[in-house]
Structure 1
Amino acid sequence: MKTGYSIPAVLLAVLVSGCTSATDATHDDAERCPNGLEIRNDIQNLGASAGLVPALRNAASGIQLIALGDITRAAGLADDWDLMTDVTPNISEAELNTNAGTTGCWRNLPESAGDRDIPSGYYIFVKDRKLVQVVPWHGGSRPLELRDRPSLTRESVLLPQNFGANSRLVPQP
């Protein structure tokens, strides 16, 4: 039975619909959340983000307890933030608002760990319920895991768990 559709035409339709839905998702997100908080790598009000993940990894390879504020200062970030939280793939908007002490809607949240266009996740810094810094983290092992804590402050004391390449910091119990 002949359908009248050629294989190239069907492939083109699939490709175009894939592009359209991604564009529509971005457009829908902007319409749904026109004045929302947006996860973007260029939000760097505290200083350049590039030094934070290496500073976290360096502290994780140590043996001493350390305050998060000491690490952020060593990374060159200003102290003008109230809390830091982790934005992982598939986090809900409600959970992020609870963790970050914010209200409203968020744009550009990571949707899945398999997305190649986004980092594995973000550390975000908030001041007076406003987003002031976004720091992407990459790879399978986060250098700082919040565990059961929704967020951390400058005074949060972190415990190194030195596992070689998979070393990380965790909040002190």
Structure 2
Amino acid sequence: MISLVILLKSNYKEIAAVREALVGERIESVTYRQTEHGGLLGIPSEACHEVDLDVVLGIPDGVMSFTWERDDLIEGISISRAMGVPSVEGVINVDAGQSPQGNMLLGQRISSVNFGWQVSEVDCPESLWSIRLVLASGASVVLALGELGGDSLPTYFPDSLLVIFDEQTARSYTHPGVDGSAWASGA
């Protein structure tokens, strides 16, 4: 069972469980969960999407939810599995599968998963800040902590998520607490 806690690099069992839950699965839907009054209300069309709360991928036997979390000084992405997308007052579900970028994910199988790690504060353990899903078609999508700046480029701000469909953008997105980029080339 995958639980709703920040994924730490030292938790090998949880990393293996995430890989096992995702690799080989077919993406059936893509939902962005947003705050009703402050987040994205329409379907985005750019190559990088900012999401307030969660990115939820529908798979044949339920959903996988990617959420930004903070536990004291540790900031990172948590991953959980559920039977469906919850309905919560004040939260809207945006069908991102209707966007051109989200639509290209539908029906695709996930062939591999790469993790990007960060140290959010001195003396904190390495936590997940980005995850790259490689699809059977060869395309990739990156989920990372951050937001879009005024120039529509990713900037590190760990209380929202970015969904990055462009490889060059993902490879150039980094911050001081990481070794590498959001592209998450490592295991």
TM-score w.r.t. the length of structure 1 is 0.31
TM-score w.r.t. the length of structure 2 is 0.29
Q: Which structure has the bigger radius of gyration?
A: 1
Larger relative contact order (CA 8 Å, sep ≥ 6)? 1
Greater share of residues in strand: 2
Greater share of residues in helix: 1
